[in-house]
Amino acid sequence: MGVGHHHLVSVSLNEQQLGTKRKYISYIPRTNQGKYLAIWIISFGFLAIYVYKYLDAGHQERIEEGLASMCDQRARMLQDQFRVSVNHVHALAVLVSTFHYYKNPSVIDQETFAEYTARTAFERPLLSGVAYAQRVMNYEREELERQHDGTIRTMTKEPSPFRDEYAPVIFAQETLSYLKLVDMMSGEEDRENILRARATGKAVLTSPFKLLGSNHLGVVLTFPVYKSKLPPNASVRERIEATAGYLGGAFDVESLVENLLGQLAENQEIVVKVFDITNTSNPLITYGRNTEDGDMSHTRVSMLDFGDPFRKHQMTCRYLHKQPISLTAFATSTLGYVIVILAGYMFYTGAIHIVQVEDDFDTMQQLKVRAEAADVAKSQFLATVSHEIRTPMNGILGMLALLLDTELSSTQRDYAQTAQACGRALITLINEVLDRAKIEAGKLDLESVPFDIRSILDDVLSLFSEKSRHKGIELAVLVSDKVPQIVIGDPGRFRQVITNLVGNSVKFTEQGHVFVQVHLADHCKAVIDTNGIRAKSTGSPFKTLSGREAADDRNSWDTVKHLVAKEEFPFQIVTTENVNLVVSVEDTGIGIPVHAQNLVFMPFMQADSSTSRLYGGTGIGLSISKCLVELMGGKISFVSRPQIGSTFSFTVALKSCKKGAVPNLKKSLYDDDLPNAFHGLKVTVVDSKPVRGAVTRYHLQRLGVIVNIVDSIKMADLDDSKPDLLLIEKDTWLSSNENTTKPQHLPKMILLATNITVPELDKLKSAGFSDTVIMKPLRASRVAACLQQVLGTGKTAEQGKTTAKGSVYLRGLLCGKKILVVDDNRVNRRVAAGALKKFGAEVECADGGAAALALLQLPHAFDACFMDIQMPEMDGFEVTRRVRKMEREANVSGNMRHLPILAMTADVIHATFEECRKSGMDGYVSKPFEEENLYQAVAKFFESKTAIQPRNG
Amino acid sequence: MLGFGAVRLRTDMNRLLSLLFHQGVLDEQFLQLQHLQDQTSPNFVSDVVTIYFQESEKQLRNLRNLLLDREIWDYVKLGIHLNQLMGSSSSIGAKRMRNICAVFRAAVEQSNRPACIRALEVLEHEYCYLKNKLHELFQMEQQSVLGDAVRYPGVVHQL
């Protein structure tokens, strides 16, 4: 059942802890990080493009502006140049009309014209030449042909057919002399030009065409020349009538533009085209190649005005090469994008990593919870199993005890005894495991009761005295007199730790000593600090208890003498609430191998597998000690040197207690009040080893004896303090025995010895020591007994030695007490009553809550009440509550009453205990009654009462 | 001769006891009970056990009646009786009785009537066994007490 219960607990714990989900909030998407990354990259891609566009727009604008300015500049220059030429042709026309028609006779002939035009040709760089064609009607043809001595020809150099009207060239610049008498009206373009020119009276241009002389494109400029001055608003008819001839010139547009552009820098950067867009649907190219070349992305169109309102021209400019893209914009956006991508990738990997780490963390946490649960379960399991094993083991031991009571042959008895010893060992082990498991499961509660540390140490010493004496090792205890008499703590656990350490030391020590010291931690520290680091004592007789070298030489006399010195400790520690003690257990045993020193406090680890073979034991003791020491708020440590010894020391935090303030002192089972018959007795201790002397003095001082230590008998002889007794250490006595016989004037002598061999005993007998030998280890009570014997003071008062048994002690506690047992179960009632009666109590029984209440009506004579919890009708809790209520009501009116009520329960789980407390009970006893259990429960509140009254042990 | 008889009686008693322990019929609580017996209450164990038998018989009767009553399934009462029986059994250290009670109680909690009836039968059987064995033991004890009474006042070394 027990197992099932624990198991349930651990399982529910598990579920509870595993059930809780992550407690933290995760800001990281747990899935689809790839998609988020893609979205990130794409969106920032768009952003980068937008940024690029934005930055590039300015750049493009600048390019555009550059192109526009260049194009406009070219257009303007071209236009200006053209205008200049046109104006000049105009001037020529005026010249011709002035000197050819208005003067009669004409002052211009071919030579004059040719020379003049040739000399003024620099004014018309754009014109390859100028010529003048006269308007000739058909009837005038013959006269003209006569005058000029030739026939009018067509453009194709053939004699012209008859027409209404002709326009033969009569004057021509030298460059155009081939045009002499060529009828300009025979060419389609020229004819149109002539007709338009005379109708408008302005300069007109042809559409571009291939010029006769060169292969270049060109346009022909035609100017009308009138016979008479015309009014500004002359009609077309008037103009035609007045027309005398036409002045014309050919513009070689291509070379013109070529020259013009050649003058400009950056010429090669742009492609320039000039179009005649008179017919908008079919623009005629005037300059430039017809193929589309250059950078098509930027085009600038500038309008050209060559002075002919009928013809429209435009200039188109393009960059020859594609303009370089804006590096800044590109670099900015690209770099930005790259950075963003990298950042995105970082986030991505980061997110993946975080998610992974979180998952790992989760897993770890679950594993941790599981591991902890498993650990708890293990401890619970151990606790349960150990408990379950203990029960049958007790049966086995009981049976073995019964078996040993029967008549057995010696072999059988041997077997049975062996079995019993093994069983006891097993029980001890199980108890230890149980202890450890309890500690691990956190079920161990420390008591906090006042106790006497010295008597505890005496107990421990007495436990091992037989063994140490047998082995011939010296076992000693020294408690600093600065340590308060009574401290508050858990005596049981304190004793357990010391027992364990001393037990180990005794076990592993073959010769030398085991020395337990208790000092105030602060004092000890202060002494060591002031002493500083002393040179290691290397002298052959080490100043330790037995003179053998110890692992930690802090315990040598150099330190101890300061610790036991009488001088007032400078720090006021005793007055404070806390008492920090340092306990050290020093031995001169085999020590712990260096490689195993780390494992010493691990459960089931022994220094060496051979150790367990040689010395037995499980190695769990030290780990329990460590746990206990830590529970008590201290630390345990050790110094060990192989083949020299080990010194374990631990600190423990206890509370101080004003002596007398808390009288219900938990006595040790062995303790008996030390007699105070020796107060003021003067004793001289002769001991060559100061540490040992200090130990002797400690025990004697506890008896109130005034102690003086000398290091040889001679010194004692010289001493004039007249001691009542002389305590001589065996070694010292033996060494000085050769030359000194028993001094006559010396008082009674007592010999202190660890072990005595037979010849030594003879020698002692001859010296008169036979009765007055105190065997070590020393204990105050033992010393007292011995002193009594020697001095003959007091009869051998038994000092209540029989209290060694708990039952006797319990008897003392319960004797004469009137106790009420409440239980509905007759059998239980009878058993409880029987048990209590056995311890001398007067028992009355009640079979239910109601009966109990009736008996407990105030005033009553009961000293205590044992109450079953599970009762029909009214359970123990309820009864207790009612009793407490009655008491409260009574207490209002005067005398304080509090009846101790102890619960009797079959299940001793903690919760039940809590409920007991809540309903006003004072404690509980597990059912069925066990002596130890009963003792513990009863002792708690009866001791205080008995301590006040004189005890009759 | 009488002394020899006494020794044999005690040996037999011990053997019986160890048998009971071995079988798990009794546990160390019984020894505790024996410890409580001394000069002031010489018949303590047998007194207690007698009360136990009286009480147990009553409980068993009640249990049987409750179980055989087919109409009502009063598990509260069953539980009370079982607890009583269990408590007194563990008080005198009747371990097997207690364990069977525990099983019985589990069956009651599960409302498993057949299991309850089975448990009751086992319990009754166990009760009879315990009663017989303890009677045997007490008889031997009485004889041995008689033997002691004869032996100690007389000459010590008859063997």
For residue range A488-517, list pLDDT tens digits in order: 888 878 888 888 888 888 888 888 888 888
Task: Report whether pLDDT(A771) > 70.
Answer: no
Which positions in chain B touch A929 (Cβ < 8 Å)?
A: 32
Report the alpha-carbon distance of residue A90 to residue A88 in Å, rounded. 5
The confidence score (pLDDT) of residue A364 equals: 93
Report the alpha-carbon distance of residue A70 to residue A270 in Å, rounded. 9
The confidence score (pLDDT) of residue A17 equals: 45
Instruction: Tell me how many residue pairs between chain A and chain B have CB atoms under 8 A apart.
Output: 85
> Does A40 lie at the interface with B, CB-CB under 8 angstroms?
no
Which positions in chain A touch B40 (Cβ < 8 Å)?
A: 837-838
Q: What is the mean pLDDT of residues A412-418?
A: 83
The confidence score (pLDDT) of residue A34 equals: 86
Q: Which of A929, A853, A867, A934 is nearest to A900 (CA)?
A: A867
Q: List pLDDT tens digits, range A716-769.
A: 666 666 677 778 877 777 776 554 555 555 567 777 777 777 777 777 767 666
The confidence score (pLDDT) of residue B4 equals: 59
The confidence score (pLDDT) of residue A16 equals: 46
Q: What is the mean pLDDT of residues B40-64?
A: 86
Q: What is the mean pLDDT of residues A889-916?
A: 71
Task: Report whether pLDDT(A796) > 60.
Answer: no
Both tokens of A588, joined, read 């001169």
The confidence score (pLDDT) of residue A670 equals: 39
Burial of A182 (0-12, 13-18, 19+ CB in 10 A): buried
Task: Report whether pLDDT(A18) > 50.
Answer: no
B14 neighbors A406 (Cβ within 8 angstroms) = yes
Residue that has been written with the tokens 């014997």 in this structure: A789
Residue that has been written with the tokens 């952003």 in this structure: A47
* Band (A367; pLDDT cuts 50, 70, 90): very high
Q: What is the mean pLDDT of residues B58-69?
A: 86
Q: List pLDDT tens digits, range A88-121.
A: 888 888 888 888 887 777 778 888 888 888 888 8
**Is A827's CB within 8 Å of B11's CB?**
no
Both tokens of A754, joined, read 């660890």
The confidence score (pLDDT) of residue A942 equals: 67
* Band (A43; pLDDT cuts 50, 70, 90): very high
B18 neighbors A399 (Cβ within 8 angstroms) = yes
* Residue A820 three-state SS: strand
Report the alpha-carbon distance of residue A278 to residue B83 in Å, rounded. 127
The partner residue sitting opposite A826, judged by closest CB among B10, B41, B55, is B55
**Is A398's CB within 8 Å of B31's CB?**
yes
Q: What percent of chain B has pLDDT over 90?
A: 2
Q: List pLDDT tens digits, range A309-364.
A: 788 888 888 887 777 778 888 898 899 999 999 998 998 898 888 888 988 999 99
The confidence score (pLDDT) of residue A339 equals: 92
Residue that has been written with the tokens 């037990």 in this structure: A503
* Percent of chain B as helix, strand, coil, to the nearest 5: 80, 0, 20
Task: Report whether pLDDT(A793) > 70.
Answer: no
Q: Which residues of B79-115 are buried (b: 16+ CB within 10 A; e: fewer)?
A: ebbbbbbbbbbbbbbbbbbbbbbbebbebbeeeeeee
**Is A825's CB within 8 Å of B90's CB?**
no
Which positions in chain B touch A407 (Cβ < 8 Å)?
A: 7, 11
Question: What mean pLDDT, rounded, does chain A reach?
Answer: 76
Q: What is the mean pLDDT of residues A160-177?
A: 83
* Band (A3; pLDDT cuts 50, 70, 90): very low
> Does B16 lie at the interface with A, CB-CB under 8 angstroms?
no
Residue A340 C-alpha from the chain's centroid: 30
> Does A873 lie at the interface with B, CB-CB under 8 angstroms?
no
Report the alpha-carbon distance of residue A66 to residue A58 in Å, rounded. 12
**Is A825's CB within 8 Å of B84's CB?**
yes
What is the CB neighbour count within 10 angstroms for residue A589?
Answer: 26
Task: Report whether pLDDT(A672) > 70.
Answer: no
The confidence score (pLDDT) of residue A94 equals: 84
Which ipTM value was assigned to this complex?
0.79
> Does A406 lie at the interface with B, CB-CB under 8 angstroms?
yes
The partner residue sitting opposite A395, judged by closest CB among B21, B36, B80, is B21
More confident position, A91 or A619: A91
**Is B41's CB within 8 Å of A827's CB?**
no
Q: Please identify among residues 34-73 of chain B the ones whose CB lies closer than 8 Å to any CB of chain A.
A: 35-36, 38, 40-41, 44, 47-48, 51-52, 54-55
Q: Which residues of A558-570 are buried (b: 16+ CB within 10 A; e: fewer)?
A: bbbebbbeeeebe
Strands A243-251 and A270-276: unpaired
Contacts of A816 (CB under 8 A, 6+ apart): A840, A841, A842
Q: Which of A241, A321, A419 is nearest to A67 (CA)?
A: A321
* Band (A667; pLDDT cuts 50, 70, 90): very low
Nearest CA distance, B71 vs chain A (angstrom): 24
The confidence score (pLDDT) of residue A641 equals: 84
B120 neighbors B67 (Cβ within 8 angstroms) = yes
Determine the residue among B9, B28, B76, B127 to mutate to test chain A binding: the one whose Cβ has the most chain A Cβ atoms within 10 Å.
B28
Nearest CA distance, B89 vs chain A (angstrom): 8
The confidence score (pLDDT) of residue A445 equals: 74
**Is A403's CB within 8 Å of B40's CB?**
no
Which positions in chain A touch B32 (Cβ < 8 Å)?
A: 835, 928-931
Q: Which of A279-288, A490-499, A780-789, A886-895 has the highest mean pLDDT?
A: A490-499
Task: Report whether pLDDT(A127) > 90.
Answer: no
The confidence score (pLDDT) of residue A46 equals: 92
Q: What is the mean pLDDT of residues A152-169?
A: 82
Q: List pLDDT tens digits, range A529-558.
A: 666 544 444 444 566 776 677 666 666 666
Which positions in chain B touch A839 (Cβ < 8 Å)?
A: none
Residue of B nearest to A390 (CA): B28
The partner residue sitting opposite B90, judged by closest CB among A1, A870, A927, is A927
Contacts of A750 (CB under 8 A, 6+ apart): A725, A726, A727, A728, A769, A772, A773, A774, A786, A787, A790
Task: Report whether pLDDT(A6) > 70.
Answer: no
**Is B51's CB within 8 Å of A830's CB?**
yes
Q: List pLDDT tens digits, range A797-855.
A: 333 333 334 455 566 667 777 888 888 888 888 888 887 777 778 888 888 888 888 88
Q: List pLDDT tens digits, range A185-214.
A: 887 778 888 888 888 888 888 877 777 666
The partner residue sitting opposite B28, judged by closest CB among A398, A830, A831, is A398
The confidence score (pLDDT) of residue A950 equals: 39
Task: Report whether pLDDT(A696) > 50.
Answer: yes
Q: What is the mean pLDDT of residues A892-901?
A: 73
Q: Dihedrals φ, ψ of A216, to 5°? A: -80, 155
**Is B87's CB within 8 Å of A407's CB?**
no
